[in-house]
A and B are shown apart, each in its own frame.
Chain A
Amino acid sequence: MATFEKATFTDQTIEVDGNLYEDCKFNNCTLVYRGGDVPQFYDCKFKGGDVKLEGGATRTAEYLSRLNRAGLSLGVENVISRVKGGQIPNRMRPPGPDAVNVGKHYGRLAAYIGVLLFVAFVIMGFFWFAYLTNPNTTLADSEDVRPLSEQIPLDIMPALPDNLAEAYDSIYAEQYDQLASYAWINQDAGVAQIPVDDAIALILERGMPSPVSGEE
């Protein structure tokens, strides 16, 4: 890079790539730029003259021209607009219907769905494992001997019939009485029911009874 200070150029052709000019005067000069480092001008005065592109600079202009002819006029005009506005174009996308361009990344979508399904199966497997290893206590296994009508707050289950708990308690009491009482099942065949505690004691004392004739 060459630096010029307070220099005066008159009727000259000057290759300006990479140069620094401070407080210089250019009278009717042609500035030649070839695409090298951008020259810098501070407090310079230009009277007449012209600018000429050569080498890579000319190729860049020709490249834009070729894009324009190839059908990319929107993109080229965007670049021109940025250049005229004093902005350095770096990466620009021409306006167009591409904003609604969807449905191109099916592979990525499939991968995301696969990951979501895998996570869902892992969570389901976790709950299934938890259920197998530590199942919830059911009412039948519960040691709570209070009537169901006292265990279930009926006011938070308005969809259930009002007497559901009472009906359950009634059936439970009837079956409990049946297990704890003596009665004939088939007197002619000599089949009777006895309290389950007595039955257990008899089985322990005498062993398993032989099947009654005619019954399996």
Chain B
Amino acid sequence: METVTNKFFDDEIVYVDNNAFIGCSFSEVTLVYTGGVLPEFTNCQFDSVALRFEDTASKTLKFLSDLPDLGFSGALDDVVQSIRAGTVE
């Protein structure tokens, strides 16, 4: 994992997979996650940040969005709850 320390990202697209961001600032930035090695954010500042998902991450969100139509609204709620609570397993 690559470590990025005290860097100011401004008006750019940042692929975050496999990066550890420490003390970084993100302004007018699009964070892109493809579903790879999880990034880490430590003491980072965010201002006007957009989120974009590609590849595995995008497919996962599509799968999750299909769950209510399959009758698994409860399963989706459980995933959402774990995201909010920080208890994703």
Query: In the complex where A44-B70, A91-B51 touch, is A101 in contact with B60 (Cβ < 8 A)?
Result: no
Within 8 A of A (CB), among B13-52: 28, 30-31, 33, 35-41, 44-52
Query: B67 near A92 (CB under 8 angstroms)?
Result: no
Considering the complex, give the chain B residue whose CB is closest to the CB of A41: B70
* A68 part of interface (Cβ distance < 8 Å): yes
Chain B residues within 8 Å of A85, by CB: 65
Please state if A96 and B39 are interface contacts (CB–CB under 8 Å): no
User: What is the distance, in angstroms, from B60's C-beta to the closest C-beta of chain A?
Assistant: 4
* Candidates A31, A38, A69; contact of B62 at CB < 8 Å: A38
Which A residues lie within 8 Å of B68 (CB)?
84, 86
Please tell me if the beta carbons of B58 and A88 are within 8 angstroms of each other in the complex: yes
Contact across chains for A93 and B39 when beta carbons are under 8 A apart: no
Given contacts A51-B72, A88-B58, contact A59 B36 (CB under 8 A): yes
Interface residues of B in 43-86 (CB under 8 A from A): 44-53, 56-72, 75-76, 79-80, 82-84, 86
Interface pair B75/A50, CB less than 8 Å apart:
yes
Find out whether the CB atom of A60 lies under 8 angstroms from the CB atom of B60: yes
Q: Is B11 an interface residue (CB 8 A)?
A: yes
B2 interface residue (CB < 8 Å to A)? no
Q: Considering residues A38, A53, A83, which has the most beta carbons from chain B within 10 angstroms of its beta carbon? A: A83
Within 8 A of B (CB), among A64-86: 64-72, 75-76, 78-80, 82-86
Chain A residue at minimal CB-CB distance from B33: A63
Chain A nearest CB from B43 CB (Å) reads 9
Q: Please count how many residues in chain B sit with their CB below 8 Å of the partner chain's CB atoms.
A: 51
Map CB proximity to B onto A27-58 as digits: 1 under 8 Å, 0 otherwise.
Answer: 00001010111110100101001110101111
Q: Is the CB of A61 within 8 A of B28?
A: no
Q: Kindly state whether residue A94 has any CB partner on chain B within 8 Å.
A: yes
Docked Cα-Cα span, A110 to B78, in Å, equals 52
Whether B38 pairs with A63 at a CB distance below 8 angstroms is: yes
Q: Which residue of A lies closest to B48 (CB)?
A: A98
Instruction: Tell me how far the C-beta of A96 lies from the nearest C-beta in chain B, rounded to whole angstroms.
Output: 6
| A83:B65 contact, CB within 8 angstroms | yes
User: Does B88 count as interface, using CB distance less than 8 angstroms?
Assistant: yes
Given contacts A63-B38, A88-B62, contact A70 B46 (CB under 8 A): yes
Residues of A near any B CB (own CB < 8 A): 31, 33, 35-39, 41, 44, 46, 49-51, 53, 55-72, 75-76, 78-80, 82-94, 96, 98, 101, 104
Residues of B with Cβ closer than 8 Å to A? 10-11, 28, 30-31, 33, 35-41, 44-53, 56-72, 75-76, 79-80, 82-84, 86-89
8 contacts between A and B (CB under 8 A): A46-B71, A59-B37, A68-B86, A76-B51, A86-B65, A90-B52, A91-B51, A93-B49
